[in-house]
């Protein structure tokens, strides 16, 4: 008996949260606050790839952090927004997501175009603070982009789009609405917001109005038996040699404490604990909470480098590496060969970071960071539950 896709999606998410909830961060008083705790301020490391230092964020809590639409329960209604100037005409607007004990930053990225208008990628919750910080840029919002099918990024697209009715709206293919999915014809969309275009999978598809400045490469698979279509679009702003991706890769800084935005949702006693940030990272990427002495081996293996989050490699509801390995490899090969980028901006953890196409492609190799089999135990358990309960397509590759 096969479940309908909405039910399969919901159960897959519940399974993920149930397994992730097995351990919670401790709350012992630890290291003092550090300026390095601010996202993007961790020191750069030697080598070809490195985190780029940026200025401290701008915030405006008096403009309002309340967001009434509980799209992603359970979530705090008071959502802080931190705006970072990434240089080269780009900005990051960061908020905090919390699911059970899993917490992580989520980033909306903005690029100023030649017209003076703004290209807004993966919008976050349009709180008063967020909108006020965006208004500071003193430029019209021309284009809104939904680059993935993942719920944590699409949840706020509708509310955000309603704030900017004159902006064009372009979305990754395979979006799932209340009554059906959006393939490649915006006229058939059942999503609760206007769709002007579907992000192209090839040069033969209709191109977005910013195509002359920002190129697009879209990964898309719709596998039989999966929880739904999976898509992510990568973008290249040629004038600044910047690669914009959402979930494909990340840079997780090794630092004494979590980014300061965590203090808007957690007590200082928790954030200052030296174990809080390593545990938060491991829970966010679904690696086991394995500690040896005072060290967290899994955390040490995936920090201060270009990394593909393990959950994205192993969990089909988030990505499709092990269920569509050939399609994933083709997409990565395409954009790493086509675009001569020298920095990357992502939707989670720290950005921007200096990286070459070779650095990004390496992250998609087989266990490129040499993680121990014990670190994969939680994801192994998760995949066994998915396969046993028919919550995803068959495994076709090895994510270890």
Instruction: Report pLDDT for 182.
Output: 76
Could you tell me how many residues make up the chain?
Answer: 400
Instruction: Look over the chain and give the mean of its residue pLDDT values, rounded to a whole number.
Output: 82
Would the pLDDT of 9 be above 60?
A: no
**CA nearest to 354, candidates 363, 346, 343, 364:** 343
Ranking 215-224, 327-336, 374-383 by mean pLDDT, the lowest is 374-383
Task: Compute the distance between CA of residue 188 and CA of residue 195 in angstroms, rounded to an integer.
Answer: 9
Task: Compute the distance between CA of residue 142 and CA of residue 161 in angstroms, rounded to an integer.
Answer: 11
Whether the CB-CB separation of 40 and 28 falls below 8 Å is answered with no
Q: pLDDT tens-digit profile of 33-59?
A: 333 333 333 333 334 799 999 999 999
Predicted TM-score (pTM) of this structure: 0.85
Among left, alpha and beta (phi > 0; psi -120 to 50; other), residue 213 is: alpha
Structure tokens of 369?
A: 């960071």
Q: What is the dihedral of CA 158, 159, 164, 170, to 10 degrees?
A: -20
Whether the CB-CB separation of 198 and 186 falls below 8 Å is answered with yes
Q: pLDDT tens-digit profile of 151-161?
A: 889 889 999 99
| Secondary-structure percent of the chain, ordered helix, strand, coil, rounded to 5 | 30, 20, 50
Please spell the DSSP secondary structure of 73-119, one letter per residue.
Answer: SS--SB---EEEEEETTEEEEEEEEEETTEEEEEEEEEEE-TTS-EE
Ranking 48-52, 187-191, 288-292, 327-331 by mean pLDDT, the lowest is 187-191
Would the pLDDT of 226 be above 90?
A: no
Instruction: Report pLDDT for 286.
Output: 82
Would the pLDDT of 340 be above 70?
A: yes
Beta bridge partners of 343: 242, 354
* β-pairing verdict for 197-198 and 168-171: parallel
Would the pLDDT of 74 be above 70?
A: no
Instruction: Report pLDDT for 73.
Output: 44
| pLDDT interval class at 7 (50, 70, 90) | very low
Would the pLDDT of 393 be above 80?
A: no
Tell me how far CA of residue 62 lies from CA of 56, 66, 69, in angstroms.
Answer: 18, 11, 20
């Amino acid at each position: 008996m096969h479940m309908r896709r909405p039910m399969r999606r919901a159960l897959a998410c519940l399974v993920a949260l149930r397994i992730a909830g097995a351990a919670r961060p401790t709350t012992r008083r630890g290291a003092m606050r550090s300026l390095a705790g601010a996202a993007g301020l961790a020191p750069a490391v030697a080598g070809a790839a490195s985190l780029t230092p940026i200025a401290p964020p701008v915030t405006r809590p008096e403009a309002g952090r309340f967001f009434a639409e509980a799209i992603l329960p359970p979530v705090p209604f008071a959502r802080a927004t931190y705006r970072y100037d990434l240089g080269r005409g780009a900005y990051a607007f960061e908020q905090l997501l919390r699911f059970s004990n899993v917490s992580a930053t989520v980033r909306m990225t903005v690029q100023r175009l030649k017209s003076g208008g703004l290209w807004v990628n993966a919008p976050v919750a349009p709180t008063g603070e967020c909108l006020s910080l965006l208004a500071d840029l003193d430029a019209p919002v021309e284009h809104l982009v939904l680059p993935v099918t993942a719920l944590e990024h699409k949840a706020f697209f509708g509310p955000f789009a309603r704030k900017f009715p004159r902006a064009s709206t372009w979305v990754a293919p395979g979006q799932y609405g209340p009554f059906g999915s959006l393939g490649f014809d915006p006229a058939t969309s059942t999503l609760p917001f206007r769709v002007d275009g579907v992000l192209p999978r090839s040069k033969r598809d209709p191109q977005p109005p910013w195509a002359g400045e920002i190129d697009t490469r879209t990964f898309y698979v719709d596998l039989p038996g999966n929880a739904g279509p999976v898509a992510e679009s990568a973008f290249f702003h040629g004038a600044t040699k910047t690669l914009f991706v959402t979930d494909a890769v990340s840079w997780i800084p090794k630092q004494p404490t979590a980014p300061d935005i965590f203090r808007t949702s957690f007590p200082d006693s928790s954030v200052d604990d030296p174990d809080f940030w390593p545990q938060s990272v491991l829970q966010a990427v679904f690696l086991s909470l394995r500690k040896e002495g005072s060290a967290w081996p899994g955390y040490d293996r995936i920090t201060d480098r270009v990394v593909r989050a393990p959950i994205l490699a192993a969990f089909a509801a988030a990505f499709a590496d092990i269920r569509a390995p050939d399609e994933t490899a083709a997409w990565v090969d395409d954009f790493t060969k086509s675009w001569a980028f020298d920095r990357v901006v992502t939707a989670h953890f720290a950005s921007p970071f200096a990286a070459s196409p070779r650095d990004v492609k390496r992250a998609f190799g087989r266990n490129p960071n040499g993680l121990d089999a014990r670190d994969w135990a939680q994801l192994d358990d998760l995949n066994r539950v998915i396969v046993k309960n028919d919550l995803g397509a068959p495994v076709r590759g090895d994510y270890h």
